[in-house]
Amino acid sequence: MSHPSDTAADVPWYVLPALVVAQFAGTSLWFAINAIVPDLQVSLQWPATAVGTLTAALQFGFIVGTLLFALAMIADRFDPRWVFFLSSLGGAALTIVAWLRIDHYVVLLMCRFLTGLCLAGIYPVGMKIAAQWFPKGLGHALGWLVGALVLGSASAHGLRAVTASLPWETLMVAVAVLAVAGGLLVLSLRQRVPAQHRPVALTWSAFGVMWTNRLVRRPVLGYFGHMWELYTVWVLLPFILGTRLAGEPVLWWSFAIMGSGALGCVIGGHLVAKVGGVRVATTQLGISGLCCLLAPLMLQAPDALFYAWLLVWGITVAGDSPQFSALTASRAPSHLVGSILTMTNSIGFAISIVSILLSTQLAQHWPLEVVLPLLAVGPALGVWAMR
């Protein structure tokens, strides 16, 4: 039996795979609506901008939830395994409610907002549980855990592709069941409380440190640039694919391209020991920014080049995420790490809301050849900050 002070080498082999699978299952809630938007646009005559608004509602819920969980120290006051499980259960229930009231747009918006709040009890809390099991630092595990988030976000498209011959309601039920299963998996792990564990409240002075400490400011700004691009690319991806495909192939390719970001996370995590986190993060951010700029050419390119471009974009647009988190955590004052990460994530998701709403609106009036290069602004500023 291992103890709180054990090193990562003493952690049972099944812990990391269990946490990765649970993160994947829980975060499948993220893009559940996005995967069925084409069906709903036909049956309910939704405007094309609805997908952006619904995604923004969830992102806003995640921001509010992250701050509330941090301010109330929920995962410190209570067993984080139960927080994760109950959040998964809540997210699953809200997904079922969204299905039952899908024709009431305001109710659906509220369900997505509340689902985002529940996701704040899944993704960050899952990271906290992992940190308790790996007290010496998550190391390469961070790449796997963020990769699970990426693959989980993509999973709704894959599930919808598998169930394409069935009614769209099947996806909502499948995602809800998957989320509950992830919560049960985390609950099956024994509780692990680190030695000398002391809850740390959200410290607002950390906001100033984010800007005045040069070493912290660089990865924080890099992360902000990354978030300007990431979720907007994921939201627009079916529209990009729709320039060449229709129906089920769009779902399969959306899953493959979004899911390829997990590969970028894992490979990036392994490369850190050889070339360093700064180089890994900056290189991936730079490549994804270049993919934005190449959009006018690639949208007219032959199929092989078009899909290769999207796969490279999918790998790099998400692959830098764990490195920015790791760099920020390693450079922040030890007593402010949690607060700085919480504020950085919240601001980053707020930036993603602006980007999503702006880009989906512009896409109604301008061609994608014009809209997609605008996403390069974030990576360009991020690379400049990390120079």
Residues 6+ apart with CB under 8 A from 262: 147, 148, 150, 151, 154, 318
Q: Which fold has domain 206-387?
A: Growth Hormone; Chain: A; (1.20.1250)
Given the structure tokens 């529209």, which residue do they identify? 239
Same fold for the pair 1-191 and 206-387: yes
For residue 131, the model assigns a pLDDT of 81
Query: Rg of the chain's alpha carbons, rounded to an integer?
Result: 20
For range 183-206, the mean pLDDT? 79
Residues 26 and 152 sit within 8 Å (Cβ to Cβ): yes
For range 27-43, the mean pLDDT? 88
Of 321, 318, 297, give the one whose Cα is nearest residue 308. 297
Helix extents (H) in the chain = 15-26, 37-44, 50-72, 74-77, 80-100, 105-119, 123-133, 141-162, 169-188, 206-212, 214-241, 248-275, 277-293, 295-298, 303-319, 321-331, 337-362, 368-374, 377-385
- State pLDDT tens for residues 140-162: 677 888 999 999 999 999 999 99
CA–CA separation, 58 and 115 (whole Å): 6
Residues 206 and 340 sit within 8 Å (Cβ to Cβ): yes
For residue 3, the model assigns a pLDDT of 40
Q: For the chain, which residues make up each domain, given as ranges?
A: 1-191, 206-387
For residue 140, the model assigns a pLDDT of 66
- Compute the mean pLDDT over every residue in the chain, rounded to the nearest whole number: 91
For range 73-99, the mean pLDDT? 94
- State pLDDT tens for residues 272-304: 888 998 999 999 999 999 999 999 999 999 999
Of 139, 130, 125, give the one whose Cα is nearest residue 20. 130
For residue 198, the model assigns a pLDDT of 63
Q: Say whether pLDDT at 74 is over 60.
A: yes
Residues 363 and 243 sit within 8 Å (Cβ to Cβ): no
- State pLDDT tens for residues 364-381: 999 999 999 999 999 999
For range 39-62, the mean pLDDT? 88
For range 11-21, the mean pLDDT? 89
Residues 216 and 332 sit within 8 Å (Cβ to Cβ): yes
For residue 362, the model assigns a pLDDT of 96
Q: Say whether pLDDT at 192 is over 50.
A: yes
For residue 59, the model assigns a pLDDT of 97
For residue 4, the model assigns a pLDDT of 40
For residue 90, the model assigns a pLDDT of 98
Q: Which residue has the higher pLDDT, 77 or 58?
A: 58
For residue 344, the model assigns a pLDDT of 95
- State pLDDT tens for residues 101-127: 988 989 999 999 999 999 999 999 998
- State pLDDT tens for residues 225-241: 999 999 999 999 999 99
For residue 298, the model assigns a pLDDT of 98
Q: Say whether pLDDT at 2 is over 50.
A: no
Region of poorest pLDDT, from 60-64, 157-161, 201-205, 256-260:
201-205
C-alpha to C-alpha distances, 34 to 31, 165, 198, 199, 319, nearest whole angstrom: 5, 18, 40, 37, 22
Q: Say whether pLDDT at 196 is over 60.
A: no
- State pLDDT tens for residues 3-15: 443 445 577 888 9
Cα–Cα–Cα angle for 118, 344, 147, nearest 5°?
Answer: 60
Residues 277 and 323 sit within 8 Å (Cβ to Cβ): yes
Under the banding of pLDDT at 50, 70 and 90, the label for residue 201 is: confident
For range 86-115, the mean pLDDT? 95
CA–CA separation, 261 and 23 (whole Å): 15
Residues 355 and 231 sit within 8 Å (Cβ to Cβ): yes
Architecture per CATH, domain 1-191, reads as: Up-down Bundle (1.20)
Residues 126 and 189 sit within 8 Å (Cβ to Cβ): no
For residue 30, the model assigns a pLDDT of 96
